[in-house]
A and B are shown apart, each in its own frame.
Chain A
Amino acid sequence: DAKTTQPNSMESNEEEPVHLPCNHSTISGTDYIHWYRQLPSQGPEYVIHGLTSNVNNRMASLAIAEDRKSSTLILHRATLRDAAVYYCISYGNKLVFGAGTILRVKS
């Protein structure tokens, strides 16, 4: 799994969009980009994944750079329930987690 780099923490206001960045400059051509989030004392929860094209689902959108060296998770309207640690993973065959980004949402 290629190494990923994310900011340690970010803060957002409730009801506003949040853009969580991730760098994965050593990603291989066949590695998917996955995002998971984790609430305290709970198992990681799948958010979204993609390979080359931008992806949307009911939870979020994933924007992947054309060179695939970075991606951005977009939460369109942050709620207090979105406060969590967000992990970006360059998915090889080991599913290795980095430090993630702590997202704080202010009401």
Chain B
Amino acid sequence: EAQVTQNPRYLITVTGKKLTVTCSQNMNHEYMSWYRQDPGLGLRQIYYSMNVEVTDKGDVPEGYKVSRKEKRNFPLILESPSPNQTSLYFCASFSPSGGTEAFFGQGTRLTVV
């Protein structure tokens, strides 16, 4: 079954404590992307990756890092989380041509206190 798996689903952490949200896909997609979603602001792209070791900033990259060492994995790293990064996060994987559907993870609800 094609799927994107995010972990954890829920996370409460304290300001400044580094954390990583993992994302893994089993469809051999070249492209992967991270979004955050806040009330009234829709899905905003944080970072995306076109292939292994190829990443680029989205619309709201400040305070986040990503890496793409393997095709299937695209972790999101918050090195020093702050309360304004409290949000719902989604990972997606998709093909570069657009001829097939994109797949999304179930989401990670992060609270930074």
Which residues from chain A sit less than 8 Å from chain B, CB to CB? 30-32, 34, 36, 38, 41-46, 49, 51, 87, 91-100
Contact = CB atoms under 8 A, between A and B. Distances in A.
Interface in B1-44: 31, 33, 35, 42-44
Contacts, number: 61
Binding site of A, secondary structure by majority: helix, strand, loop or mixed?
Answer: loop
Interface of B: 31, 33, 35, 42-45, 48, 50, 58-59, 88, 90, 92, 94, 96-99, 101-107, 109
Contacts of A87: 43
A75 to B, nearest CB: 18
Contacts of B104: 43-45
A10 to B, nearest CB: 17
B106 A95 contact: no
Nearest to A93: B96
Nearest to B45: A96
A51 B44 CA distance: 25
A91 B106 contact: no
Q: Is the interface of B mostly helix, strand, loop or mixed?
A: strand
A32 B99 CA distance: 7
Nearest to B31: A93
A31 B99 CA distance: 9
Closest 10 CB pairs of A and B: A91-B98, A43-B104, A32-B98, A46-B101, A97-B43, A44-B104, A43-B90, A99-B42, A43-B107, A93-B96
A44 B43 CA distance: 10
Given A42-B106, A94-B45, 11 more contacts: A31-B98, A32-B99, A34-B101, A44-B43, A44-B102, A49-B99, A87-B43, A95-B31, A95-B92, A97-B42, A100-B42
